[in-house]
Structure 1
Amino acid sequence: MLITFKSKSLPEVMMYQEHAQRILDLLHKNPTRGVITAAEAAQALSVLEHEVALSKLHPEVDAEHEVHTPEQEDNGDLPENKLNLRVGFAQRAFPLLEMLRSAKQEGQDIIWGV
């Protein structure tokens, strides 16, 4: 299922729910429907930037949070030719981080599920 994050500050950001779930869990938000108010944007940005920094310092932890993808074999491993193609938390979070920065700067809310 796709989650579409909307804000008047930037174009929509779409993510698969299984990828957005980690972000929303960190922000204590419901994946079905929610809002990050302009007042919450600074704190949300801080939380996500901290998690991105941790994921870069400890890529093995990032791999633990990786969701099962169709490219993975039945034992959970990626085939040899796909090992360098992993998309980490920092890359997945980047579009939403940009939206949070813009929403904070412009005083706009971010909504989804409506």
Structure 2
Amino acid sequence: MIVTFKSPAAGDVIMFADVAHLMMEIMGKDATATGIVTIEQLPAAIARLRAAVVADKARRANLADEDPPHNEATEDGDKHDHVSLAQRAVPLLELLEWSLKKNKPVTWGV
């Protein structure tokens, strides 16, 4: 399933549901089918997402060359290149930051 994060401040950010739910949890939101990050909640959501990105980068920097995951298993058993939390979070983080600058909430839904 796909989840689309929307704001009048910038373009949509589309994610697979499992990744979107992780982002919601990091931002301190319930992983629901629809929701909102209000203007008042944006600074805290941005701070939490930035902290998670920094922590992910630090964790990955401390791994030995042979330790980082090079592939991830997909639901159908295939494999694809590992995508870090930082890579997944950046588009949403940018949407949140633009929304804060323009005083617009961020919503999501299917």
Task: Establish whether TM, by shorter chain, passes 0.5.
Answer: yes
Q: Which residue of 2 aligns with 1:24?
A: 24
Tell me the number of residue pairs that the alignment of Structure 1 and Structure 2 aligns. Answer: 100
Structure 1's unaligned 5+ residue stretches are: 73-81
1:16-56 per-position Cα deviation (integer Å, ceiling 9, x unaligned)? 00111211112222331100011111100000000000000
* Runs (4+) off by over 6 Å: none
Deviations 1:37-92 (A, max 9, x none): 111111000000000000001126x96xx9742433xxxxxxxxx6xx32100000
Structure 2: stretches of 5+ with no match in the other structure: none
**TM-score, normalized by length of structure 1?**
0.78
Pick the structure with more helix per residue: 1
Matched, 1:2 2:9: no
Residue 110 of structure 1 aligns with which residue? Answer: 106
Normalised by the length of structure 2, the TM-score is 0.80
Say what the alpha-carbon RMSD is for the aligned residues.
Answer: 2.2
Secondary structure class of the residue paired with 2:41: helix
